[in-house]
Amino acid sequence: MSIKTLIIEDDFRIANIHKEMVEQLPFCHVVHTALNASEAIDFLSSATDLPDIILLDMYIPDVDRIEFLELLRKQYPYCNIIIASAAKDHQTVKAAKLLGVYDYLIKPIDKNRLQKSFRKFHEEMVFDKEEWNQEDLDKLFNMKNSNRKGLSNKGSELPMGIDQLTLEKVKATLSTFNQNYITAQLLAKEIGISRSTARRYLEYLDAEKLVEATVHYGQVGRPQRIYILREQNKQN
């Protein structure tokens, strides 16, 4: 089996380095390199045979990195994504995990680490059985013997990056907000935190079903992520 790879990387020099790393493996072939999101979508929408792996840099200049990742996972669910990026903030890593990214590598990329990921993927793709047992499935889905407990380290604890006092302040602000929706930029202005921090808390509240995240498409400009306030949150 040949692993077809699409590289999305805005620096052509780094893209060429990653291409060389990937193609040193005899079972890998880079089918295209896109320098921006538009070029990547044009390639994917016209491809007769989709890539097996998208090697993705999260810092693409013509798109919001989280929204672009969401778009790729929604429109091309059978393309596995390996992130190769300098982005290592909580919001990006959390989104990658929840959206089912296959692997996450921090730049500068170590060649052996990158090739290890591709080898593992290749082994899984040729791992064919007529009937599966639980031990083999655990290996395939990377499950350990310990139970999975989601984002929290202990059942009732808040996830990493979410502070109880700040969370209460966010909830209090939302309960008295005079609109039916809010954005990270508006929340940041209201309580004096950074936009990235505001978005982190809104994404957490979305996961907790206290707000509902959606994308608003205006007449001009790029789509904007907004958070619709649910009734129970307005009443808190």
Number of structural domains (the chain) is 2
CATH number at residue 15: 3.40.50.2300
pLDDT band at residue 12 under the 50/70/90 scheme:
very high
Domain assignment of residue 144, yes or no: no
Is the pLDDT higher at 64 or at 151? Answer: 64
In this structure, is residue 153 part of a structural domain?
A: no
Residue 97 inside a domain? The answer is yes
Note whether 11 and 89 are same-domain residues: yes
For residue 48, being part of any structural domain is answered with yes
Mean of per-residue pLDDT scores for the chain = 85
Q: What distance in Å separates the CA atoms of residue 70 and residue 167, rounded to the nearest whole number? A: 25
pTM for this predicted structure: 0.60
User: How confident is the model at residue 157, as a pLDDT?
Assistant: 62
Mean pLDDT is lowest, of 101-115, 159-173, 220-234, for 220-234
Same domain, 168 and 118: no
What's residue 196's pLDDT? 85
Neighbour order of strands in the sheet with 224-229: 181-182, 224-229, 211-216
pLDDT, tens digit, 9 for 90 and up, residues 182-192: 999 999 999 99
Return the pLDDT at 127.
Answer: 66
Residue numbers of the domain that contains 183: 164-235
Say yes or no to pLDDT of 146 above 90.
Answer: no
Do 170 and 118 lie in one domain? The reply is no
Distance CA 129, CA 152 (A): 35
Question: Long-range contact list for 181-186, CB < 8 A, 24+ apart?
Answer: 181/226, 181/227, 181/228, 181/229, 182/211, 182/226, 182/227, 182/229, 183/224, 183/225, 183/226, 183/227, 184/225, 184/227
d(CA 193, CA 168): 14
Residue where a domain stops, chosen among 69, 100, 128: 128
% pLDDT > 90, the chain: 53
Residues 93 and 168 reside in one and the same domain: no
CA distance 142 to 91: 23
H or E segment to which residue 169 belongs: helix 164-175
Mind listing the pLDDT tens digit for each residue in 54-94? Answer: 999 999 988 998 999 999 999 999 999 999 999 999 999 99
* Whether residue 28 is found in the same domain as residue 74: yes
User: Taking 80 as the threshold, does the pLDDT of residue 167 lie above it?
Assistant: yes
**CATH number of the domain encompassing residue 185:** 1.10.10.10
Residue 89 is assigned to a structural domain of this protein:
yes
